[in-house]
Amino acid sequence: MAITNVSRSKCFGGVQGVYSHEARETACLMRFGVFLPPQAEAHPVPVLYWLSGLTCTEENFIVKAGAQRVAAELGLAIVVPDTSPRGLKIPGENESYDFGLGAGFYVDAVQPPWSRGYRHRAQESWHL
């Protein structure tokens, strides 16, 4: 899986990055954020995965939570994926905030057309 660097910013002595990749399970480009505290330059650090809910992208947590300051103090990395497939062009995906585009439900759809992109299986993983 090829990972593309979207952005990187210094943040509380660490680095806040945003990345994208072509996701096999959701059949679209997905984005995720990673905060690496300053301690990560010297040794491995523990990781917290934050899974946002309805209508949230990776940016929601990065911008609004303010968790990077505390994570830098604790030496904790944070991974924040966008949990919704976007841009699948499925009819109705832009008609309601709680269904389709931005609906971060952790489901495996079984009926077309949703079954080609609404898949959140455990075998999709990130290796940074």
What is the band of 85 on the pLDDT scale with cuts at 50, 70, 90? confident
Q: Is residue 57 part of a domain?
A: yes
What is the band of 9 on the pLDDT scale with cuts at 50, 70, 90? very high
Indicate the number of domains in the chain.
1
Q: Is residue 124 part of a domain?
A: no
* Model confidence, pTM: 0.81
User: Average pLDDT, whole number, for the chain?
Assistant: 84
The per-residue pLDDT for 95 is 78
Residue 77's domain spans which residues?
Answer: 3-116
Beta bridge partners of 9: 16
Q: Is residue 24 part of a domain?
A: yes
Q: Is residue 127 part of a domain?
A: no
User: The domain that contains 55 carries what CATH number?
Assistant: 3.40.50.1820
Question: What strand order describes the sheet that includes 14-23?
Answer: 3-11, 14-23, 28-36, 77-81, 47-49
The per-residue pLDDT for 16 is 98
Q: Is residue 107 part of a domain?
A: yes
- Which of 16-20, 25-29, 56-60 is predicted most confidently? 16-20
Q: Is residue 94 part of a domain?
A: yes
Q: Is residue 125 part of a domain?
A: no
HSE-CB of 19 using CA atoms within 13 angstroms = 20
Length of the chain: 128
For residue 62, what are its two tokens?
């990065």
Residue 4 has pLDDT above 70, yes or no: yes
